[in-house]
Amino acid sequence: MTRTAVIAGVGPGLGASIARKFVAEGCAVGLFARSAEFIEDLADELNEDGDALAVQTDITDAEAVKAGFDEVREAFGPVDVLVNHASGGAWKRLMDLSGEEFEHALAVGTQGGFHCSQEAVADMLEEGSGTVIFTGATSSVRGNKGALAFSTAKFAVRGMAESMARDLGPRGIHVAHVVIDGGIRPPDSEVHNPEEYLDPDAIAASYWHLVGQDPSAWTLELDLRPHTEEF
């Protein structure tokens, strides 16, 4: 079945891997990012074998999000899958953090997730099915030293995902939160111990698995970490 997916917050790492995996599985994909340059190049690549649309979007702006979703709908039809992947946050301690930096982290992660979810779920409710995936982090479940804004936003996103799952699951919409518990191997660069990093393509495969899960056994939270990490 052909699906229309929106990935909110696409960069050259995990976001790009998710886009490539979803297109490979037959999805038409809308790529949202604040900056157009990378997503336009990625869309050109993906359109060689599939369907992708680059949409420069500030997800903290509700009107911009609505316009972005309308553009995707016009190109591909109603949205079946949303990946809320965007995050922001200065890696600073309490006394070094400005109010603007703190507010930006909350705006991107929580406000952006809220706006995108409202748009996508409106389509899904009409169809009676769909999937919303939130990208979390170690900071979603354990506050990180020196990352107050990022940790606060990630805790809030986890709460949003859990609340949505309980509200929307009975209405046919699968909502899942993915805890990325470890560093993601950076694209196009060497690392000393690659086995200590998560492979972005392997993470993307796990995201796709969530999309295809049977409703009798939906995952609410998926915790991913390298095999070298201790539990």
Domain interval for residue 66: 4-224
Residue 6: Cβ-neighbour burial (10 angstroms; 0-12, 13-18, 19+): buried
Percent of the chain with pLDDT over 90: 81
Say yes or no to pLDDT of 82 above 60: yes
Q: How far is CA 119 from the centre of its chain?
A: 15
CA–CA gap between residue 212 and residue 190 (Å, rounded)? 33
Q: How far is CA 91 from the centre of its chain?
A: 20
- Per-residue pLDDT band for 136 (boundaries 50, 70, 90) equals very high
The string of pLDDT tens digits covering residues 94-130 is 999 999 999 999 999 999 999 999 999 999 999 999 9
Give the model's pLDDT for residue 230: 58
CA–CA gap between residue 30 and residue 7 (Å, rounded)? 6
**Residue 230 within a domain:** no
For the residues 149-171, what does the mean pLDDT come to?
96
CA–CA gap between residue 118 and residue 114 (Å, rounded)? 6
Give the model's pLDDT for residue 186: 81
For the residues 146-173, what does the mean pLDDT come to?
95
**Residue 117 within a domain:** yes
For the domain that residue 15 is a member of, what is the CATH number?
A: 3.40.50.720
What crossing angle do the helices spanning 36-46 and 14-24 adopt, rounded to 10°?
30
Percent of the chain with pLDDT over 70: 96
**Residue 229 within a domain:** no
CA–CA gap between residue 180 and residue 141 (Å, rounded)? 11
**Residue 231 within a domain:** no
Quote the number of domains for the chain: 1
Query: Phi/psi of residue 159, each to 5°?
Result: -65, -40
3-class SS string, 25-47? CCCEEEEEECCHHHHHHHHHHHC
Run of H or E including 151: helix 148-168
Rg (CA), the chain: 17
Q: How many CA atoms lie within 13 A of 34 on its CB side?
A: 10
Distance between the two ends of the chain, CA-based, in angstroms?
Answer: 37
CA–CA gap between residue 149 and residue 144 (Å, rounded)? 10
Higher-pLDDT residue of 1 and 3 is 3
The string of pLDDT tens digits covering residues 163-215 is 999 999 999 999 999 999 888 888 776 667 767 779 999 999 999 999 999 99
Minimal CA–CA distance to 89: which of 142, 150, 141?
150
